[in-house]
Amino acid sequence: MKYALVTGGSRGLGRAICLEIAQMGIPVIVNYQSNENAALEVKAEIEARGGQAELMRFDVSKVDEVEAALGNWEDQHPDDYIAYLVNNAGIRRDNVMFMMPEEDWHAVINTSLDGFFYVTRKLLPKMMQRKHGGRIVNMSSLSGLKGMQGQANYSAAKAALIGATKALALETAPRGVTVNAVAPGFIETDMTKELPQDELKQLVPMKRFGRPEEVAALVKFLISDSAAYITGEVISINGGLYT
Ligand code: NAP
């Protein structure tokens, strides 16, 4: 059986993506770092809608945790594999660069970029062997496309993810595995709730933040059979903020 793994699936965009993928009839592995209650709620909601979900706790930025959790899963599922991977886990620790603590630089890059590397590297062999058209979607950001003040760490991580998406897409294309990135603008989640929303909405041509469900609908398309010929792309979803 083909499974989906969504990193950072317990809240925000990841939560909406888990719900959407489960509605496609794909069993979903909901990864989270520490908020078990939120992850349990996602699982319960998927099951209430008739879908299948399981939880998997690991910190994407810690290679030992990634290898152990995914290795155990593979041992327990000899006939299954993870065909759909959404590298969504991410954090932000904003600060102007001259005041940015070293740990905030590394924490942001380690989560978005190292996390992508550790999880994807572990899953690629099976995804490529099966030749059934695997899918990888990486959660980048408008910040990675244009750069944003106070986000040198975050913009660097999200821009690097775009480079990695394009390189990996070339490696996996002959096996029918697509690799794409999604670049959201401002979306209503815990990550953006502290921001001055009224001010920022004025910058958005559509005058509103996006909803997690709108990003999830795009990810759903990218992992569907309909998107089999799209790879190495970065798709923006930002209400016209960067067009
Ligand atoms: P969020 O509401 O803060 O949720 C973050 C999720 O990531 C949570 O499920 C959290 O798990 C998980 N997570 C954080 N660090 C992790 C780690 N080291 N290992 C595993 N899981 C980890 O964030 P969001 O707004 O949904 O953002 C999701 C992704 O979209 C991020 O990559 C973000 O950079 C990107 N993005 C967001 C926006 C936006 O406007 N919201 C815009 C562009 C891009 P716990 O629940 O266990 O803490």
Cα Dmax for the chain: 52
pLDDT of residue 39: 98
Q: Check if 154 is active-site.
A: yes
Query: What's the rounded Cα separation, in Å, for the pair 108 and 158?
Result: 10
**CA 90 / ligand 1 centre spacing (Å):** 4
pLDDT of residue 131: 67
Q: E strands along 113-226, which residues? A: 135-139, 178-184
- For the Cβ of 178 lying below 6 angstroms from any atom of ligand 1, the answer is no
- 3-class secondary structure, 135: strand
Residue nearest ligand 1's atom 3 by CA = 191
Looking at 3, 81, 118, 154, which residue is catalytic? 154
Per-residue pLDDT of the chain (243 residues; tens, 9 = 90+): 999 999 999 999 999 999 999 999 999 999 999 999 999 999 999 999 999 999 999 999 999 999 999 999 999 999 999 999 999 999 999 999 999 999 999 999 999 999 999 999 999 999 998 767 899 999 999 999 999 999 999 999 999 999 999 999 999 999 999 999 999 999 999 999 999 999 999 999 999 999 999 999 999 999 999 999 999 999 999 999 976
- For the Cβ of 12 lying below 6 angstroms from any atom of ligand 1, the answer is yes
- Residue the block writes with tokens 């909405």: 201
Q: What are phi and psi of 44, to 5 degrees?
A: -65, -40
Query: What's the rounded Cα separation, in Å, for the pair 243 and 236?
Result: 9
**CA 184 / ligand 1 centre spacing (Å):** 12
pLDDT of residue 198: 95
Query: What's the rounded Cα separation, in Å, for the pair 110 and 90?
Result: 9
Is residue 209 within 8 A of residue 192, CB to CB? The reply is: yes
- For the Cβ of 239 lying below 6 angstroms from any atom of ligand 1, the answer is no
CA distances to 24, 53, 216, 218, 223 from 182, rounded to whole Å, are: 19, 23, 10, 8, 12
195: left (phi over 0), alpha (psi -120 to 50) or beta: beta
Instruction: Walk me through the domains of the chain, giving residue ranges and CATH numbers.
Output: 2-237 (3.40.50.720)
